[in-house]
């Protein structure tokens, strides 16, 4: 489904991006000045999925804006584009991970590309092989996702996860997700 750019309120979009930036949880703040509406929408969607994957609380107004304007349900009455819509789901609140068992359970059925990459790392392997498997998953499910195209992007993701208590075994170019530290 195509997003009708004219139907998206640019002022409201910028306000919601500001709310996401203010969470302090994004790796890099979203730049709003001098950025096209289409790029702002993509950055907003990416941030929403990133925060949801990271189990960081998303401002309610941002979730409502996403669900009303950018989720699959938002365009239910529109004429579909020739290309099938992606199979991503809008973010939904999920329970906090409290143990490695919780983490493994959550990764059994990944809901988006980031959690699919985490599932691959749970099995372990060479980073380049994991990237290739993610690409196959994206193509098979007709998902448009620009993350995890390089080894360095995967390593940044691992570093971020480590900062949030995920434990990895790293041996050169191989990686395996091995645990989760419980915060005390």
CATH code of residue 156: 1.10.10
What percentage of residues in the chain have a pLDDT greater than 70?
Answer: 84
In-domain check, residue 175: yes
pLDDT value at position 171? 92
Q: Are residue 123 and residue 59 in the same domain, yes or no?
A: no
Tell me which DSSP letter residue 90 carries: -
State the residue range of the domain holding 144: 100-180
Residue 87 lies in a domain: no
- Closest residue by Cα to residue 176 from 128, 122, 139, 137: 122
CB 1 within 8 A of CB 85: yes
Same domain, 145 and 111: yes
Residue 129 lies in a domain: yes
Q: Which residues of the chain have pLDDT under 70?
A: 1-2, 72-95, 183-184
Q: How many domains does the chain have?
A: 2
* pTM summary value: 0.52
Please give the DSSP secondary-structure letter assigned to residue 168: E
């Amino acid at each position: 489904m195509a997003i009708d750019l004219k139907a998206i309120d640019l002022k409201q979009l910028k306000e919601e991006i500001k709310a996401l930036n203010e969470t302090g949880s994004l790796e890099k703040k979203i730049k709003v000045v001098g950025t096209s509406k289409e790029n702002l929408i993509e950055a907003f969607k990416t941030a929403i999925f990133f925060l949801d994957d990271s189990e960081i609380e998303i401002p309610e107004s941002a979730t409502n804006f996403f669900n009303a304007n950018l989720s699959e349900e938002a365009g239910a009455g529109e004429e579909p584009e020739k290309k099938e819509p992606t199979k991503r789901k809008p973010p939904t609140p999920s329970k906090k991970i409290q143990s490695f068992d919780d983490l493994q359970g959550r990764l059994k059925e990944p809901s988006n590309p980031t959690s699919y990459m985490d599932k691959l790392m749970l099995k372990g392997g060479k980073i380049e092989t994991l990237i290739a498997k993610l690409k196959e998953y994206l193509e098979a499910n007709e998902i448009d996702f620009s993350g995890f195209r390089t080894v360095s992007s995967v390593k940044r993701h691992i570093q971020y996860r480590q900062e949030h208590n995920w434990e990895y075994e790293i041996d050169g170019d191989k990686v395996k997700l091995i645990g989760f530290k419980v915060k005390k």
